[in-house]
Amino acid sequence: MVNAELVKRFEQIADLLEIKGEDRFRINSYRRAARAIDDLTEDVAALAERDELETVPGIGKSTAERIRQFLAEGRITLHEELMASLPAGLLKVMSIPGLGPKKVGALYHELGVGSIEDLQVAIAAGKVEQLSGFGAKSVAKIQEGIGFLARSAGRTPLGVGYAIAESLRSRVAALPGVKRVIPAGSLRRGRETLGDIDLLCEAADGQAVIDAFSKLPEVSGVRASGDTKASILVASPEGGDIQVDLRVLPAESFGAALQYFTGSKEHNVRLREIAIKKGCKLNEYGLFKGEKLIAGKEEAEIYAKLGLPFIPPELREDRGELERELPKLIELTDIRGDLHMHTTASDGRNSIEEMAKAAKERGYSYIAVTEHSRSSAIAGGLSIEDLKRHIKRIRAADGKVEEITVLAGIECDILSDGALDYPDELLAQLDWVIASIHAAQGQDRARVTARTIAAMENPYVNVIGHPSGRLLGRRDAMDLDWEALFKAAAKTGTAMEVSASWQRLDLKDVHIRQAIEAGCRLCIDTDAHDTNQLDQLMLGIVTARRGWATAEDVVNTWPLAKLKKWIAAKRK
């Protein structure tokens, strides 16, 4: 929790410094520190306690002092001074699409704009249009941005973004003359939430594609439209609109553009530095040696010409992917079974047999049916007697669908005192036990961590379900000691779940990597409540890939015999 707040404070400090026109080096020092803290897999307070803040790349002496002040006092003097020196509404102005700190600074210093209301008044008076660096087109875009902000969905969960992107991708791919359409940006990297969606298209007649794209039935508004690029608005199921950008490219530069518009800013900066050292120039149009184009049609060529292996899109975040040997990342086809799903016995919408048949159609060789336990009454949790009867129903269902094994499981609540929702003699009758926290998530770090570790120490618990308890954009993660959890998981032989549910993606990427480095096993599950939700597994795969996970790290890539042997080892 403290990490996220520090990231926010440092980013605001950088923005406010830029608005004031401060030194670029100073501004960037706070942006680097914010990113360094955001990438940490442990609480920054633990680093401070060990006096290791300045060992983190991106955290210098000055930013370390600000961190220590925040940890001690809950505030940063510089942040307070900057906030007091500028109108509070400027940060809201900067959230308008297309308005960064530099332009906001110009509006403030030249026109006295301190809020969105001030900006609207200045626009109406014709003052913004006359300002150097703006003009009529800029003003029109700002007005569109103000409207977009008012109805914006904010950050869109990856799963929602995937559905929107695929719908639009398939429509564009069907247009005359289109050779290929590929999503790029943060969606292709698999980031858990998206600010917008990028699509790249190869076609000869860009204008025709752009015109058709801007008139698709999903379009609720057009923010910009040119010869080869358009920005449209599409309604999000989460509410509000999300922006979708389409760029039409010629074949010779498609791969270079795909690389450029996929990689994070930091990854791309590193690539350009490597290119310069080799006497080359790299941009969205290609890799050039002097004026000669030496790579551009396929993005793999870019990496090869720079002497690098192909970097999977999910790893392009400048988190060591250019310095370290890369593992063979897990693929969707590696998964042999889904071990977290619910049926009509609790709050699911399909029967055991229907879930088994749907899993078989997806190529799985086993599943675990895992209803809610008795404390989750609102979700139809099973009493002790209900669970006993349900185990018999699962045993009877196993074999009714050929070539897939149905395991009897449960999602057992970890109670507020650390006890499990069922006695051990009942858990022993099950093949697979998920232990999850659903209540008292606001307990302090020591208590929620101790509860989770207590569950791990139970010989019948195989995996900790959605370990942080977060819901994207709706509920923060619990305040957990991740280092202690992963150490206990590795010691007890308990897997950590990567919930592929679009609302969770829990564990998140940085914690997955930390868990693997600690020697933990993972289990990628959907928590499906109907047959269609089994398709969410790809979201968990993408998230695991962002955490550098291999197939061997994930227990449900194993053959059933190996999985059962692993389960039995803990019970012994």
Does residue 410 sit in the same domain as residue 514? yes
Indicate the pairing of strand 432-436 with strand 196-203. unpaired
Strands 337-338 vs 366-372: parallel, antiparallel or unpaired = parallel
Looking at the structure, do residues 425 and 396 belong to the same domain, yes or no? yes
Torsions phi, psi of 469, nearest 5? 75, 10
pLDDT score of 448: 97
Between residues 97 and 186, the one the model is more confident about:
186
| Pick from 443, 507, 496, 510: nearest CA to 7 | 510
Q: For residues 186 and 286, state if they share a domain.
A: no
Same domain, 243 and 263: no
Q: Is the model's pLDDT at 43 over the cut of 90?
A: no
Rounded mean pLDDT, 410-433:
97
Output the six-digit token pair for 142: 């700002």
CB 455 within 8 A of CB 435: yes
- Does the structure show a pLDDT above 90 at 224? no
Q: If you average pLDDT over every residue of the chain, what do you get?
A: 93
Residue 427 pLDDT: 98
Domain end: 56, 86, 116, which one? 86
| Dist. CA 421–CA 376, nearest whole Å | 9
Distance CA 390, CA 407 (A): 12
Q: What would the 3-class secondary structure string for 551-563 be? A: HHHEHHHCCHHHH
Please determine, for residue 322, whether its predicted confidence score (pLDDT) is greater than 90.
yes
> Are 487 and 340 in the same domain?
yes
Please report, for residues 256, 467, 521, 541, 543, the alpha-carbon distance to residue 512 in angstroms, rounded to integers and kept in the order given: 30, 11, 10, 11, 8
219 and 264 housed in the same domain: no
Domain boundary pick from 249, 272, 299 = 249
Helix (H) or strand (E) holding 372: strand 366-372
Supply the pLDDT for residue 151: 59
Could you tell me if 499 and 365 lie in one domain? yes
Show Cβ contacts of residue 546 under 8 Å, excluding neighbours closer than 6 positions: 189, 190, 191, 314, 315, 317, 509, 512
| 192 and 55 in a common domain | no
CATH label of the domain that carries residue 241: 3.30.460.10
* Banded pLDDT at 150 (limits 50, 70, 90): low
User: Of 230, 190, 241, 65, whose CA–CA distance to 546 is shortest?
Assistant: 190
Residue 482, domain member (yes or no): yes
Q: Looking at residues 85-112, what average pLDDT do you find? A: 88
* pLDDT for residue 252: 95
467 and 392 part of one domain: yes
Q: Which DSSP category does 506 fall into?
A: B
Name the one residue in this structure whose structure tokens are 């030249």. Answer: 110
Residue 160 domain flag: yes
User: What is the model's pLDDT at position 153?
Assistant: 56
Any domain includes 325: no
DSSP label at 532? G
The reply to whether 350 and 490 lie within a common domain is yes
**Token reading at 487:** 């150490």
DSSP string of 8-21, one letter each residue:
HHHHHHHHHHHHTT
Mean pLDDT computed over 194-206: 95
Number of domains present in the structure of the chain: 4
**Domain annotation covers residue 470:** yes
Domain assignment of residue 323, yes or no? no
CB hemisphere CA count around 455 (13 angstroms): 31
Q: Give yes or no for residue 473 having a pLDDT over 80.
A: no
Residue ending a domain, choose from 234, 249, 264: 249
Residue 382 pLDDT: 96
Please identify which residue in the block is written with the tokens 């999910």: 314
Q: What's the pLDDT at 97? A: 75
DSSP-derived pairing of the beta strands 241-249 and 196-203: parallel
Q: Residues 299-315: pLDDT tens digits?
A: 999 999 999 999 999 99
- Rounded to whole angstroms, the Cα distance separating 106 from 127 reads 12
As a whole number, mean pLDDT of residues 248-258 equals: 96
CATH number of the domain bearing residue 491: 3.20.20.140
Beta-ladder partners of 435: 412, 464
Cβ–Cβ under 8 Å, residues 499 and 527: yes
Average pLDDT over residues 46-58: 91
Q: Cβ distance 463 to 434 under 8 Å?
A: yes
**Predicted confidence band at 1 (pLDDT cuts at 50, 70, 90)?**
low
Q: Is residue 72 part of a domain?
A: yes
The CATH number that applies at residue 71 is: 1.10.150.110
Spatial separation of the C-alpha atoms in residues 287 and 441, rounded to whole Å: 51
Residues in the chain: 572
* Domain carrying residue 391: 332-571
H or E stretch covering 30: helix 24-38
CATH code of 267's domain: 3.30.210.10
User: Is 61 part of a structural domain of the chain?
Assistant: yes
- Report, in angstroms and rounded to the nearest whole number, the Rg of the chain calculated over CA atoms: 26
Q: Which of 69-83, 233-247, 393-407, 509-523 shows the lowest per-residue confidence on average (mean pLDDT)?
A: 233-247
Do residues 309 and 364 share a domain?
no
Residue 95 binned pLDDT confidence (cut-offs 50, 70, 90) = confident
207-220 per-position pLDDT tens digit: 999 999 999 998 98
Are 55 and 175 in the same domain?
no
Mean pLDDT to the nearest integer, 165-173: 96
Tell me whether residue 125 is in a domain. Answer: no
Q: For residue 96, what are the CA distances in angstroms to 147, 149, 154, 285?
A: 9, 6, 11, 29
